[in-house]
Chains A and B, each alone.
Chain A
Amino acid sequence: MSDQESPRVPPPSVSVAQLLEDPLLGVPLRVLAGRGGLQRLITHPRVQKSGLAMVGHLQGVSPTRLQVLGETELSYAESLSPEAQQRAARHLFSLGLSCVVITRGATPPPAFLEEADRTATPVVGAPARSSATITALHAVLDERLAPRARLHGVLVDVYGVGVLLSGKSGIGKSEAALELVMRGHRLVADDVVEADYRPPGAVYGQAAELLRHHLEVRGLGVLNVMDLYGVTAVRARIRIELVVALELWRAEAEYERLGLDVEACSILGVPVRRVTLPVRPGRNMSRIIEIAARSELLRQAGRNPVEDFVRRVEAASLGEAPSREELG
Chain B
Amino acid sequence: MSRFCASFTIVNRRGLHARAATRLVQLASRFGCDISVRRQEQEANAKSVMGVLLLCCGPGTQVEICARGPEAEAAVTELGALIEEGFGELD
- Complexed CA–CA distance, A190 and B56 (Å): 17
9 extra interface residue pairs, beta carbon distance < 8 Å, beyond A152-B45, A191-B49, A191-B50: A9-B41, A150-B42, A169-B29, A170-B29, A190-B50, A191-B48, A191-B51, A192-B50, A216-B49
Interface size on A, residues (CB 8 A): 16
Interface residues of A in 157-209 (CB under 8 A from B): 169-170, 190-192, 208
A222 vs B43: C-alpha distance when bound (angstroms): 21
Give B39 Cβ to nearest chain A Cβ, in Å. Answer: 12
Contact A150 B43 (CB under 8 A): yes
Interface residues of A in 261-306 (CB under 8 A from B): none
* Bound CA–CA A75/B82 (angstroms): 69
Listed A/B pairs (18) with beta-carbon separation below 8 Å? A6-B43, A150-B42, A152-B45, A152-B48, A152-B51, A169-B45, A169-B47, A190-B50, A191-B45, A191-B48, A191-B51, A192-B44, A192-B51, A192-B54, A210-B56, A211-B53, A211-B54, A216-B50
Which of A9, A190, A192, A211 is most buried by chain B, counting CB atoms within 10 A of its CB? Answer: A192
Given A170-B29, A208-B54, verify A222-B41 contact (CB < 8 Å). Answer: no
- Could you mark each residue 52-83 of chain B with 1 if its beta carbon is under 8 Å from any beta carbon of chain A, else 0? 01101000000000000000000000000000
User: In the complex, which residues 1-49 of chain B have their Cβ closer than 8 Å to any Cβ of chain A?
Assistant: 29, 41-45, 47-49
Residue of A nearest to B50 (CB): A191
For the complex formed, measure the closest distance between the CB of B32 and the CB atoms of chain A, giving whole angstroms.
Answer: 10
CA A143 – CA B66 in complex, angstroms? 32
Q: Flag whether A214 is at the interface (Cβ < 8 A).
A: yes
Measured CB to CB, the nearest residue on chain A to B36 is: A6
**Nearest 9 Cβ contacts at the A-B interface:** A169-B47, A191-B50, A6-B43, A191-B48, A192-B51, A152-B45, A216-B49, A9-B41, A211-B50
